[in-house]
Amino acid sequence: MRGSKAFLSLLLLPCLLAGCSLLNRAKNYNQHYFLKQEVAEIEAKLLASPPSLRPPKTLYLYDEKGVYQQQLTDLLHRLPTNDPLSQRVAQLLGDGLALLERATDTLQLINAHLLMDNPTEAIRLLALWSNPDPASQAVITLAQGDTLNTIHHLEELLKQPKSPLAYLAARLWHHLDASAQAPLHYLSRKSPSQWERFTATVELGGSPTGNTAEEQAYITYRSALQQPDTLHLQKATEQLLQLPESEWQTAALLALRPLLYQQEQWVTALALQQALPAEYQADYPYLLLTEYQQEIKLLQSYLQSSASPTPTSNAPTTATPTTPADGSFRSKWGNVANVDNWAMQQSTSFRHPSSTLPFKPTFEQYQTTLHHLHLTLPQH
């Protein structure tokens, strides 16, 4: 009896082993399927995210902003190096060395070297390729400073609307030449990024409704660029400063800064300057705004006071001259009652760049100092 059971076990053993093998294969397939889904979700999020304003290392999609670095690194460690999905993850991660270790064709090798900032080797490999990749050619010519040839390669890619790289080509082309219409039309219709579709539509002259504070700020910002008067510039700057810091918000503030400076809108220009990231604080001549912030804040307190409604009172007020001297503080900023008294009450301290003024300066001293500010801050 025992012999029969042993014999039966031997007969069933191959079936059991085959069953275990099938279970393992099913488990591995199931695990790989979910990993593939996770990678596809990250890829879709990267495509739908607002574009980076920095020139890309490669036109093939990768996480330029580092948002998914940890998640992609974890995925990379869970996949065998010979798995095609592992190559895709290394590309999305932007890890040139990891891609180099997993590369199985010339294109992957070229991208690996581009991600490692090694264009020399990428150029050598590209020259050996019988069918050169226009996306790699575009990035290489860009690294060489050849903008015209870069745009030529991007234009060729854009003529292939079914190419997965057409969108990224349009994005880079617009980055290099903001006035070019072809990439804007493409992005306004086909960009997977809702933000990019919106901004492209605005830049083409469309009038989409700004449904968020960010979209409204962008519309106001574009309007200020087209009509850079005091009102538009101040409104655009105020709306931008209310947004959380982002790459495009910083770029917009940098575009408005010289316009505010040229028009001597010192109060708004100082607020903008102080809101910029640290790497832009030392830019000349804008760094002088912070050196003269005491004087500028004095102007701000005047503006805030003059903008406040005057309370109704039976008390007599001192009339303000209606025809002030040309170039005076009053003519520049508007009339208020009793300017001299206001100035004396508002100021508790005042620094003149070249001398120390009395504790309570007179209107004439204010006038002189404002004129000095105009002459001291260099024209941009």
Which residues does the chain have with pLDDT short of 50? 306, 310-326, 332-333, 335-361
Find out whether 117 and 142 touch, Cβ atoms under 8 Å: no
Rounded CA separation 78/67 (Å): 19
| Sequence ranges of the domains in the chain | 46-206, 209-291, 294-305+325-380
Residue 298 is predicted with a pLDDT of: 72
Residue 196 is predicted with a pLDDT of: 92
Residue 133 is predicted with a pLDDT of: 87
For the stretch 62-98, pLDDT in tens is 999 889 999 999 999 999 888 999 999 999 999 999 9
Rounded CA separation 21/23 (Å): 5
- Nearest to residue 264, comparing CAs of 127, 164, 172, 374? 374
Rounded CA separation 216/142 (Å): 33
Residue 258 is predicted with a pLDDT of: 95
Residue 375 is predicted with a pLDDT of: 73
Rounded CA separation 62/79 (Å): 18
Find out whether 103 and 109 touch, Cβ atoms under 8 Å: yes
For the stretch 116-127, pLDDT in tens is 999 999 999 998
